Amino acid sequence: MKVAGRPRSYIYAVWIGIPLLVCVAAGVGNLILGSASTQAPAILSFAAGAVIAMLAEAMIPEAFEKAPPFIGLITVVGFLAAYLIAQH
């Protein structure tokens, strides 16, 4: 972001604001879906994939600039592979 000419205040706002919003969204999701025990694995998997895609595309601009446009999908597939390996 610095190379792109963004002001320091913008960079700090993004690096502080996005994790705060993710925490708030996680808390709200827990309140709303806290009793959804049968669907919990699917909900958690979707949420984890969304967070990883957000990190790869929004908070790591170098990865987006130097990698293919579908870097988020690649990252999620890598996370899924690591998860599946860890389960066995």
Residue 70 has pLDDT above 70, yes or no: yes
Domain boundaries, the chain: 8-87
More confident residue, 60 or 76: 76
17-61 residue pLDDT tens: 988 998 898 888 778 877 767 777 777 788 778 887 777 777 677
| Top-confidence range, 6-10, 57-61, 70-74 | 6-10
Which residue, among 27, 87, 78, has the nearest Cα to 55 in the 3D structure? 78
DSSP letter for each residue of the chain: -TTTT--HHHHHHHHHHHHHHHHHHHHHHHHHHTT-TTTHHHHHHHHHHHHHHHIIIII-HHHHHHS-TTHHHHHHHHHHHHHHHHH-
31's tokens: 């309140």
pLDDT at 9: 93
